[in-house]
Amino acid sequence: MSDTTVSAGRTGRGLFTGARDGALTLLGSGRTRLELLGNELKEEKLRAVRLLLWSQIMVFCLALGTILLVALLLAVYWEYRVVLLASSGVLFIACSGLAYVALQRSMRRPEHLFAASLAQLEEDLRQLKQAAGDESRTD
């Protein structure tokens, strides 16, 4: 009789320990996933700030360069000022269009937002399904 009591106590403690370990694993896994999500949000914010900064630098340099180059050309070739102004305008508008296309291309991101988090969650699901399949075979 004492053997049944001892084995029942061990089983009860084993179930409680298993449930506690499972809960701790679940909480640890959830914490890791939230940290990963936070890191990805931070990286995305830095990327957006970097894009904004580069676009502002591009616009400033383009405007300043345009003004200086047109002023130089007008000073050197004063008698052709109308042709120079027209051709300069067309040239810099075309360059601005190319810069716009390059900026649009750099803003596109081939990977999905939170791709690392989603991949990790998929791996967790796969491992849980595998563990559940192994557990059902042992029962």
pTM listed for this prediction:
0.46
Residues 36 and 114: beta-carbon distance below 8 Å: no
Domains in the chain: how many in total?
1
**pLDDT(32) > 50:** yes
Residues 77 and 87: beta-carbon distance below 8 Å: no
d(CA 108, CA 101): 11
d(CA 71, CA 83): 13
Residue 14's pLDDT is 66
Residues 109 and 48: beta-carbon distance below 8 Å: no
Residue 89's pLDDT is 84
* pLDDT tens digit sequence for 35-90: 888 888 888 899 999 999 998 998 898 788 878 888 888 899 999 988 888 888 88
* pLDDT tens digit sequence for 96-118: 899 889 888 888 866 666 677 77
3-state helix, strand, coil in the chain (%, to 5): 95, 0, 5
- Number of Cβ atoms within 10 Å of the Cβ of 82: 8
Rounded alpha-carbon distances, angstroms, from residue 125 to 31, 47, 67, 108: 16, 30, 59, 30
Domain that holds residue 113: 2-138
pLDDT band of residue 21 (cuts 50, 70, 90) is confident
